[in-house]
DNA sequence: CGCGCCTTTGTCTGCGCTTTCATTCGAGTG
DNA sequence: CACTCGAATGAAAGCGCAGACAAAGGCGCG
């Protein structure tokens, strides 16, 4: 006959106390506790202090799920990205998380492995989890998933791209335009036999835009690529793809990103080709390692950190102000390093 | 006088329907809907099909927060890690997420920037968010945070370390022991003037264990490090630190991880030192890029992917089976590449 | 034809919190 | 001194779902 006195019973474990326990201990109602928790000004100093003391003594922790249910807000952001194993995505997400956290939001993360079907599935999960805002990569997704997103009213930002015609807000840069200064630089330094080693093109508007942008700019110079190949995003796979590509005898290889370029660099070295003397190699991203390679890699700098940070800030601002997410256009910058140098005038 | 008929009113927007709407439309009770949703066998084929049709027609999405509140389970895991900008953590988290997702769990992620205070704060947030299990890195955290974790009853796995005496379950490897084969290899190939370039030691048991393990193994060979330095985890900072360290004239530099080693490689190149002829350089992690450097980097392979995967599997298994998390010891492997080669017998 | 049993279904409570609305109390005002 | 107004507080109604429990229906059996 062990009877539990409801008033004196301590919560079974730390963090197991509820608002009711706190209210009882502080001698107030749960409404007042809630007000203290949410920083409402309609609480007297005395009540506030009593509640705060009770919270401390009971090691009370608010239950976010209950709060979400009651407020219909989760203070949570989601990010669905192709992978974390590419440093440029990791950097963007890292900044996104940091900024979201500073602004009081937690982050759900999900990795699609570049699979559009999987991505749609994950987006749906994010909606079910009740995220307040969602970070996606690029604009390449099916109409049905898009429809769900739009009609669900979920705030959404698509990063790593900037397209006026995009159906959702873009916070990123123009992938095609980013390639122009790079092509100009190669052509100006005498490269004529340009090969392109693109990333996976299917379901990846960024990779296609980079390829298209490169081809278009070459055309502006009256040139066409001497070869175009596609590769998965890993150094090893890119190295293999580059080996074949180099047999065409290009004097420049424009790679879809730095990871691919790193693979191409390795392939050139293995083939006994001099970089940049025999062949120039360029990437896109400007990873930290790219500057420290031998030779250092010419690339196009992507503002991944700023992109992540601003996406989080914009999403949260849009949520707070109850307005649609605005697009933000960021710039890229050509970073010329030794992997593409050549003495002027040489052919 | 626009009156809304409660029965015919469609949900305002896609995904806005609740179980009640579905139940009404299917002509059953919410309990039956709930049963269908959770795959209960106590539902007739007919009911199930009606409910499934209604779900489709209404584009109904379950509300996870409500479910969490009712079940006291969130089907969510959390991960608090130092950073995502190191590829080895990104790889581990990537695998952790993948495995968690396969097993029906979403992932909260938070980055502590190697700050123990911040880490404690983030762990607390994870508890509030109601994660079912938590992935942490290493064992170096204060007693108060530890107490909160233990008494909150949250399942927790500390990765990237394996220590019999650890207060929480470890799913990882012995950082000190991992260094022994590397030191043996260096000494066996004639290196005697070994310098150590460690990562940040404060609040980082992994970095300390690697340093201690290296020093201890050197001592076993009757040697002591000719210099020891500490650096932040970035290629650039490591390059700077290595520049100073190389002035001591070591014939080997054992680095705390591959990122640091990449910096050291760059420093050696800048200093005109030959690797491995003048100085051997080694890392820990075995990043994809490490094998493709020139020279390829000798390193200790960390099973980051397996670690992430098994941590997720073990956490979820422990939750399902309502038992404590078990520790799992993983192995590391010395990977000898050219950055440490030397013809046998040479000094 | 009536009984009990098993399968299927519905009703209803509660998870922990926010928030509306009503109430109380005290101070200020005519 | 009665009255109004504002500040502070509490009572209570959900938020959407799961699950305990009760009830209803169908079946075979005697």
Q: What DSSP letter does each residue of B181-194 carry, written as one string?
A: HHHHHHHHTT---E
Q: How far is A304 from chain B (nearest CA, A)?
A: 11
Same domain (yes/no): B189, B252:
yes
Same domain (yes/no): B228, B287:
yes
**Using the beta-carbon criterion (under 8 Å), do A69 and B69 form an inter-chain contact?**
yes
Domain housing B92: 75-174+304-332
A106-111 and B106-111 beta bridge pairing: antiparallel
Provide the mean pLDDT of chain A.
92
Q: How far is B192 from chain A (nearest CA, A)?
A: 28
In this predicted structure, the answer to whether residue B206 has a pLDDT above a threshold of 60 is yes
End-of-domain residue from the set B62, B83, B101: B62
Q: How far is B296 from chain A (nearest CA, A)?
A: 10
In this predicted structure, the answer to whether residue A22 has a pLDDT above a threshold of 60 is yes
Same domain (yes/no): A122, A214:
no
In this predicted structure, the answer to whether residue A330 has a pLDDT above a threshold of 50 is yes
In this predicted structure, the answer to whether residue B5 has a pLDDT above a threshold of 50 is no
- What average pLDDT does range B230-244 have in this prediction? 97
End-of-domain residue from the set B62, B91, B113: B62
Flag whether B31 is in a domain.
yes
Nucleotide nearest to A23 (CA to C1'): D10
D20 C1' to B71 CA distance, Å: 13
- What average pLDDT does range B129-136 have in this prediction? 96
B82-94 pLDDT per residue, tens: 999 999 999 999 9
**Using the beta-carbon criterion (under 8 Å), do B14 and A108 form an inter-chain contact?**
no
Same domain (yes/no): B308, B170:
yes
Same domain (yes/no): A137, A250:
no
> For position A9, what pLDDT does the model report?
37
A64–B contact, CB cutoff 8 A = yes
Report B:317-336 residues touching A (Cβ under 8 A): none
Same domain (yes/no): B104, B215:
no
* Neighboring chain A residues of B84 at a CB cutoff of 8 Å: 84, 90-91, 93-94, 97
Flag whether B250 is in a domain.
yes
Closest CA to the C1' of D16: that residue is B66
In this predicted structure, the answer to whether residue A5 has a pLDDT above a threshold of 50 is no
In this predicted structure, the answer to whether residue B213 has a pLDDT above a threshold of 70 is yes
CATH of the domain at A45: 1.10.260.40
> How many angstroms separate the Cα of A266 from the Cα of each of A85, B192, B236?
19, 31, 22
Flag whether A166 is in a domain.
yes
A37–B contact, CB cutoff 8 A = no
Nucleotides of D under 7 A from a protein CB: 7-12, 14-20
Flag whether B345 is in a domain.
no
End-of-domain residue from the set B62, B89, B109: B62
**Using the beta-carbon criterion (under 8 Å), do A69 and B64 form an inter-chain contact?**
no
D26 C1' to B44 CA distance, Å: 13
> For position B42, what pLDDT does the model report?
87
Name the residue facing B94 among A111, A128, A288 (closest C-beta).
A111
CA A296, A297, A303, A308 torsion-angle sign: negative
The DSSP code for B291 is G
Of the residues A17, A58, A71, A85, the best mutation for testing chain B's interface (the one with the most B CB atoms within 10 Å of its CB) is: A85
B102–A contact, CB cutoff 8 A = no
**Using the beta-carbon criterion (under 8 Å), do B65 and A84 form an inter-chain contact?**
no
- What average pLDDT does range A31-47 have in this prediction? 92
Flag whether A68 is in a domain.
no
Residue B202 forms beta bridges with which residues?
none
Nearest residue of chain B to residue A16 (CA atoms): B152
Poorest-confidence range of A1-10, B246-255, B282-291, B307-316? A1-10
CATH of the domain at B188: 3.40.50.2300
> For position A148, what pLDDT does the model report?
81
- What average pLDDT does range B277-283 have in this prediction? 97
Flag whether B221 is in a domain.
yes
Q: How far is B305 from chain A (nearest CA, A)?
A: 11
C27 C1' to A146 CA distance, Å: 59
**Using the beta-carbon criterion (under 8 Å), do B239 and A292 form an inter-chain contact?**
yes
Same domain (yes/no): A103, A170:
yes
Flag whether A249 is in a domain.
yes
Same domain (yes/no): B128, B199:
no
Closest CA to the C1' of D11: that residue is A29
Count other C-beta atoms under 10 Å from residue B1's C-beta: 2
* Neighboring chain B residues of A293 at a CB cutoff of 8 Å: 293
Tokens read off for A165? 């015609």
If you compute the radius of gyration of chain B from its CA atoms, what whole number of angstroms results? Answer: 27
> For position B237, what pLDDT does the model report?
97
Q: Report the percentage of chain B scoring pLDDT > 90.
A: 87
Same domain (yes/no): A186, A283:
yes
Question: Going by C-beta distance under 8 Å and a sequence separation of 6 or more, which residues neighbour residue B280?
Answer: B186, B189, B191, B251, B252, B253, B298, B339, B340, B341, B342
Q: How far is B75 from chain A (nearest CA, A)?
A: 10
**Using the beta-carbon criterion (under 8 Å), do A108 and B107 form an inter-chain contact?**
yes
D3 C1' to A29 CA distance, Å: 30
- H helices of chain B, in order, are 19-26, 30-37, 45-58, 64-71, 87-102, 116-129, 143-152, 175-188, 205-220, 235-246, 258-270, 304-320
B124–A contact, CB cutoff 8 A = yes
In this predicted structure, the answer to whether residue B13 has a pLDDT above a threshold of 50 is no
**Per-residue pLDDT band at B7 (split at 50, 70, 90):** very low
Same domain (yes/no): A48, A81:
no
Flag whether A6 is in a domain.
no
Q: Report the percentage of chain A scoring pLDDT > 70.
A: 94
Same domain (yes/no): B154, B181:
no
With 0-12 CB in 10 A as exposed, 13-18 as middle and 19+ as buried, what is A236? middle
**Domain count for chain A:** 3
> For position B10, what pLDDT does the model report?
38
Q: Report the percentage of chain A scoring pLDDT > 90.
A: 88
Name the residue facing A128 among B62, B84, B93 (closest C-beta).
B62
Q: How far is B27 from chain A (nearest CA, A)?
A: 24
- What average pLDDT does range A121-148 have in this prediction? 91
Of the residues B90, B92, B232, B268, the best mutation for testing chain A's interface (the one with the most A CB atoms within 10 Å of its CB) is: B90
A68–B contact, CB cutoff 8 A = yes
**Per-residue pLDDT band at B344 (split at 50, 70, 90):** low
A270–B contact, CB cutoff 8 A = no
Q: What does the alpha-carbon distance between residue A62 and residue B92 come to, in Å, rounded to a whole number?
A: 30
* Neighboring chain B residues of A263 at a CB cutoff of 8 Å: 292
First-to-last C-alpha distance (Å) of chain A: 97
Same domain (yes/no): A212, A167:
no
- What average pLDDT does range B323-344 have in this prediction? 92
Of the residues A11, A70, A84, A265, the best mutation for testing chain B's interface (the one with the most B CB atoms within 10 Å of its CB) is: A84
In this predicted structure, the answer to whether residue A15 has a pLDDT above a threshold of 70 is no
Do the beta carbons of residue A101 and residue A131 sit within 8 Å?
no
D6 C1' to A68 CA distance, Å: 32
Name the residue facing A69 among B66, B110, B124 (closest C-beta).
B66
């Amino acid at each position: 006959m062990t009877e539990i006195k409801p008033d004196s019973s301590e919560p079974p474990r730390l963090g197991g106390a509820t608002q009711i326990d706190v209210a009882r201990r502080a001698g107030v109602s749960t409404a007042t506790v809630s007000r203290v928790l949410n920083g409402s000004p309609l609480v007297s100093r005395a009540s506030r202090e009593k509640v705060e003391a009770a919270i401390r003594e009971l090691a009370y922790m608010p239950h976010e799920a209950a709060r979400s249910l009651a407020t219909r807000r989760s203070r949570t952001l989601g990010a669905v990205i192709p992978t974390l194993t590419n440093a440029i995505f990791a950097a963007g997400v890292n900044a996104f998380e940091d900024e979201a956290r500073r602004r009081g939001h937690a982050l759900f993360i999900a990795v699609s492995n570049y699979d559009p079907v999987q991505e749609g599935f994950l987006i749906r999960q994010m909606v079910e989890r009740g995220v307040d805002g969602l970070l996606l990569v690029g604009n390449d997704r099916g109409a049905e998933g898009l429809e769900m997103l739009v009609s669900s009213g979920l705030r959404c930002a698509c990063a790593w791209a900037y397209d006026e015609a995009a159906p959702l807000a873009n916070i990123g840069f123009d992938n095609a335009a980013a390639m122009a200064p790079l092509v100009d630089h190669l052509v100006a330094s005498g490269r004529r036999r340009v090969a392109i080693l693109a990333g996976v093109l299917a379901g990846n508007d960024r990779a296609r835009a980079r390829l298209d942008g490169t081809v278009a700019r070459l055309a502006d110079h009256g040139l066409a690529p001497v070869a175009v190949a596609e590769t998965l995003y890993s150094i090893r796979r890119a190295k293999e793809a580059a080996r074949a590509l180099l047999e065409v005898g290009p004097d420049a290889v424009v790679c879809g990103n730095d990871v691919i370029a790193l693979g191409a660099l390795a392939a050139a070295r293995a083939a006994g080709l001099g970089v940049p003397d025999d062949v120039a190699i360029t990437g896109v991203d400007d990873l930290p390692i790219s500057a420290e390679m031998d030779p250092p890699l010419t690339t196009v700098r992507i503002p991944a950190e700023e992109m992540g940070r601003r996406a989080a800030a914009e999403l949260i601002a849009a949520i707070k102000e109850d307005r649609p997410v605005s697009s933000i256009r960021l710039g890229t910058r050509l970073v010329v390093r030794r992997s593409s140098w050549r003495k002027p005038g040489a052919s």
